[in-house]
Amino acid sequence: MLAAGLALGASPLAVRSGHGQEDAAPAGLIARARAALAKGDGIAAEMRLRAALDKGAARRDIAAWMGEAYLDQGDTQSARDWLGQGRFSRDTAALGWRAMARVEWTEGDLAAAGRAFDKALAITPDDPELWVDIGRLRYAGGQHTLAIAAADHALALDAHDVPALTFKGELVRDRYGLVGALAWFEQAILIRKDDVPTLLQYAATLGELDRASEAVTVTRRVLELDPGNAQAYYIQAVIAARAGNFELARRLLDRAGDRITDRAGGLLMRGIVELAAGNPATAGEALEALLRMRPDNGRAKDLLARAIYLSGQYRYATLRFAGDVARGDASPYLLTVLARCHEALGERMAAGERLDAAARPRAGVLHLVGAQTPIGQLLARGQDAAAAQLAESALRADPGNYASLARAGDVQLALGHPRDAAERYARAAAIRMPPSLFLRRYQALVAAGEISAARDLVEGTLQQNPTSRVTLRAAAALAIAGGDYRRAEAILAWLRDTGAQRDVQVLSNLALVEAGLGDPQSAQITAMQAYRLQRASPEATQALAFAEAALGRHRGDAQALFDKAAAMAGPTALIAQGRAILAEESRFR
């Protein structure tokens, strides 16, 4: 056979030494196959296992390893052929059932995967890496609390097990934040410095913390250990894109290949870099593919709208997102892009309607978890009581599931019960706290009047995620409310300078803070930037009016702007304060 011939290609030298003869024997070939698997080389492992079979190895002695080899190659059907009958030697039975569980998991049958893991667990109940696999399966199946318990049990069995430490780091990152996760990854790397999965998690976390040079150094080490590693190239691409080097990011994505760019994150990055490279049609293809996977991904919708607009398909853009507009789901950015499309089509009235909608205050909008779920649809139709009943029923059935907890919180917030919402959000955050949950949890605490708890949430989150933009926005809002304008100014200026140059809300708030700090000239410049971006925004309008009033010039313009803002947003406290300034100035003229 070809495999046997290749495996024996070194035999003229090997036969001259006892060591070489051992390597050519079935046991030696199996050992070399296991070494190849440890390096991620499933093809070499398969060749050596087939050579061992030709040399007289029993099928049961190599079945588990052969299944692993095919899994490494992505061939689940061939893996099933070797694993499905469960004919393993005593020493490899646990490994074989673990491999069979991975086959079932990969093919989407989580229940069958669980049964296979149970068979492995009956053989090796104290194997920490088996408990890591079980934990990952539970997490994928929505049994989040049980997954955390599995990780803790794995570490109780062996506090120095590298896969268990890495899994714990991932869970800590989801639950608490980036900084806390680093210690777990670093502990794992101290034990096994060349463990590629751990190094990749470490690099990704460093990248999220804006420690770009350290992250790149780690990915280069990964590529030394595993040349061509797709995840390492993807992490490098993300770092390059954040630095504004989109051409480099594009080349790195190409090197990552389809294994990355067919996933949600890879498709989003492909859309971003192709837009930056001036290829809106290619960007649109990637973003449409992403939205087929994740229909509620707002960032992808915004980018797709831009791609379609830049392609000159103005009518298609208005049709493609008509449903989002009708449901009120369209973001201000999406509405602004659609307004430009209507303008290009000569439809000025429709353009004005989109701009007005984009400028409308959105602070009270509840962003649902799973808007396409039955609970989300009931809320969208205003059937709050039915939504609450369904949400609480789902929560009782699966109290350790993140989505059940978050949806139950959404319903309580929609019903005007912010304290009940905050309690459910806190339980969800014990599993993981993405930016969307942080924002809803913060809003619930503020609505409940628990400002101290909201401040603790913000400060605690920033300690773990110091570059979280949604958390920094909340910190700025609390600083303004507490009169700490210096801190608010520092936060808002940083947000503006690192990507929010066209964010009307950030610019408007910064202008007000600058005015409050006695710098009306800077306030007027900043407010004018916001106003030019969105003249129909009540926030930008009243910020510019306030800046003009504080500057003491063009009183008539300031009064007209206050009138315009009041017509759009009603009699706000800020407008009343600004008019009082104008009246005071008038008294001393």
pLDDT digit string, tens, across residues 39-58? 888 999 999 999 999 999 99
Last residue within a domain, chosen from 305, 336, 359: 359
Q: Does 370 lie in the same domain as 471? A: yes
Dihedral sign of CA atoms 443, 447, 453, 454 in order: positive
pLDDT of residue 384: 82
Cα–Cα separations (whole angstroms), residue 488 to 195, 381, 484, 510, 516: 42, 38, 6, 8, 11
Residues 417 and 351 in one domain: no
Q: Give the pLDDT confidence score for residue 365 in this predicted structure.
A: 44
Q: pLDDT above 70 covers what percent of the chain? A: 93
Percent of the chain with pLDDT over 90: 73
Q: Are residues 372 and 474 in the same domain?
A: yes
pLDDT score recorded for residue 205: 97
**Residue 523 belongs to a domain:** yes
User: What is the band of 23 on the pLDDT scale with cuts at 50, 70, 90?
Assistant: low
Do 371 and 350 lie in a common domain? no
Are residue 372 and residue 477 in the same domain, yes or no?
yes
Predicted confidence at residue 310, as pLDDT, reads 96
Q: For the residues 545-570, what does the mean pLDDT come to?
A: 87
| Number of independent structural domains in the chain | 3
Q: Which of 359, 388, 416 is the last residue of a domain?
A: 359
| 333 lies in the same domain as 384 | no
560 occurs within a structural domain: yes
Q: Is the pLDDT of residue 22 over 60?
A: no
Point out the domain boundary residue: 482, 515, 530.
Answer: 482
Task: Place 198 in a pLDDT band, splitting at 50, 70 and 90.
Answer: very high
Within 8 A by CB and 6+ apart from 491, the residues are 472, 473, 475, 476, 479
Q: What is the DSSP string of 98-155?
A: HHHHHHHHHTT-HHHHHHHHHHHHHH-TT-HHHHHHHHHHHHHTT-HHHHHHHHHHHH
**pLDDT tops 80 at residue 326:** yes
Whether 522 contacts 506, CB under 8 Å? no
Q: How far apart are CA 216 and CA 220, in angstroms?
A: 6
Domain that holds residue 584: 495-589
Token pair 């409940």 in the structure block, residue: 448
Q: Would residue 222 count as lying in a domain? A: no
Q: What is the CATH number of the domain that holds 421?
A: 1.25.40.10
In a domain, 385, yes or no: yes
Residue 159 lies in a domain: no
CB 95 within 8 A of CB 71: no
For residue 338, give the 3-state DSSP assignment: helix
Q: What angle do CA 139, 141, 146 make, to 5 degrees?
A: 50
Return the pLDDT at 578: 84
Residue 574 lies in a domain: yes
Same domain, 523 and 573: yes
Tokens 């490899």 found at: 92
CA 513 to CA 498: how far, in whole Å? 18
**Average predicted confidence (pLDDT) for the chain:** 90
In the predicted structure, residue 141 carries a pLDDT above the cut 70 = yes
Q: What is the DSSP letter of 570?
A: -
The answer on pLDDT for 259 being more than 90 is no
Do 402 and 477 have their domain in common?
Answer: yes
Contacts of 39 (CB under 8 A, 6+ apart): 226
CA dihedral 172, 299, 536, 341 (to 10 degrees): 180
Mean predicted confidence (pLDDT) in 420-446: 95
Per-residue pLDDT of 436-484, as tens digits, reads: 999 999 999 999 999 999 999 999 999 999 999 999 999 999 999 999 9
Q: Considering the domain boundaries, does residue 217 fall inside one?
A: no
One domain for residues 562 and 581: yes
375/354 same-domain check: no
Lowest mean pLDDT among 23-27, 400-404, 419-423, 572-576: 23-27
Whether 126 maps to a domain, the answer reads no
Cα distances from 170 to residues 135, 142, 178, 198, in angstroms, run 12, 16, 9, 10
Residues 501 and 528 in one domain: yes
